[in-house]
Structure 1
Amino acid sequence: MSPLSQRLPTVPSGGVATHSIAPITLPITGRAHDLELRLTVPVSGQDLPVIVLSHGHGPSNYISSLYGYGPLAQYWAASGFAVIQPTHLDSQTLGLRHTDVAEAPLFWRSRATDVSTILDRLEEIAAFSPVTAGRLSAECIAVAGHSMGAYTASLILGARTLDPETGEIVDLKDERVRVGVLMAAPGRGGDALSRFAAEHYPVFIGTDFSMMDTPALVVRGAADAAAHLTVAGPDWYVDPYRLAPGRKTLVTVAGGEHGLGGVAGYDAAETTDENPERMEFVRQITTAYLRTTLGTDADAWENTRNALRSSPMNGGIESRH
């Protein structure tokens, strides 16, 4: 047992059996490809809180799809949540990034629409298997994401942007979502962007967090510089906490880079900061936050935060109410 594990409270993980179903296919008129999902749940329990987990825009073939993010999805499911993972249209598995399909390469609007579509069809998704039918809560919903997935989550939580084609303000907030977890989320636009980001990802130019009032946990790596995206350095990833109103919590992961220790996948080559203890820190702090904010364990956040105070992975935890 590692020193970090000895300091942390026991949280269900590999010892709790889970059930995973994939792919679940939702035909959607007008979408360039049917929406495919993975649903992972604990084998027991009713009225399971739902987490829609949005993948990043990374270079791997399968990490950025329903096949990735096992370290988070399995852990959250073992902790009592129903985790739904969509494959967004920017996934390498679909081959649409470098085509002339509208919204390529990021498919930023489609990504947010995917999340709302999932919530529209939650009962249908649950009914795909007798193991999950009738077990998902339609009242207890969170959205989570990493990197571009966190940008997607921020739009669902109330952040706004400008459509690069029309210049119109885009509001994709979904009121059904009670809380969010933003991991390595892109920050503000304008002069904080690198020239590369402004040219290749113009939707980031208009990013505005001033209306993102849904409660959220923002997790950022202290060493996540992302020079290809921003000239602001690691502080850019603090923006969703610093610039958004309402109840927000910021967790800084000491030594963490964009991979936050490996949340996107076990042994993923693109995780430059792979570290099992760092990943465990992220898994436990996000789980505790979700348990408390979604009402399944009122003491989880306080107990876990106290246990993590002396962790070498703890680069700071602060909250604003």
Structure 2
Amino acid sequence: MSILVYINSNGNKIAKNSFEAVTYAKKLGDVTVVTNGKADNTILADLGKYGASKVLVDRSFDGTDEQQITRMVATAAEKVGAETVVFSDDLVGKAVAPRLSVKMNAGLISSATGVPQGDGTVPVNVFSGKAFAFVKANTSKKIISLLPNSIPVEEVGGSASIEEFNGNAGDTRVRVKGINRPEGDIPLPEAELVVSAGRGLKGPENWGMIEDLAKALGAATACSRPVADADWRPHHEHVGQTGVAIRPNLYIAIGISGAIQHLAGVNGSKTIVVINTDKEAPFFKAADYGVVGDAFEVVPKLVEAVKKFKASN
């Protein structure tokens, strides 16, 4: 079975969720990757380590215009005879997958968390992660968007061949005047470890200990919506139903009560640790581990414990 995967090469950097998409596709059949832009061929060839046999590159445009990408991916799918097209369920994937579904007359399965079962059904996240459903597309061609951090990246060895092609992307009506990229070493959607805090920290001047813990763990930092609205932290760190939805392996929530809107964006986390002075905080019901205590006492001790553990291992 021929499987096509779209990745956003983002210059000379390939995001972890792209490797996840290739790993996922390899479980379904023979994988061809399609991308656009100016990414170095050496970096693209490394996609072979994760199961891609070929990479199609359209050098005619460099950007994330949804209409151009839709046309390019449709051209690539026809070229390789792809029966299934896989996207990461990120901002670009959410915009392009539905458009491609209409263009190819293909069934769309979004927010997938696993590979198709024996009966062809695919497990997906529903109701903001509160439940799972098993969905089946009855069309001959299928589009699947994979939730980030749903499956582990697997290296299988090898190197992908590179082929430059004309994806018939056409012109764009969008002109990008500038790009403001979030600060920080680890983008939130890709982070495996996240340290987050809320109004329990009482002010932006106390955020140093959150950054210290994140640095000790090698984690990304995040915050609740009230914190972002109060300008204590930048809005790109806001996680929740109206912010960034994340699925890290570990989510540490400090001084966050656990409103349902916040839980909707983080309940896909593998392990949740809650630190709060209020033992009745709703977040404890969703937590795997809970600490009833003052963050100003608990967090510094936790930072020292992590540093001590790392120093002895």
- TM-score normalised per structure 2: 0.31
TM-score by length of 1: 0.30
| Bigger radius of gyration among the two | 2
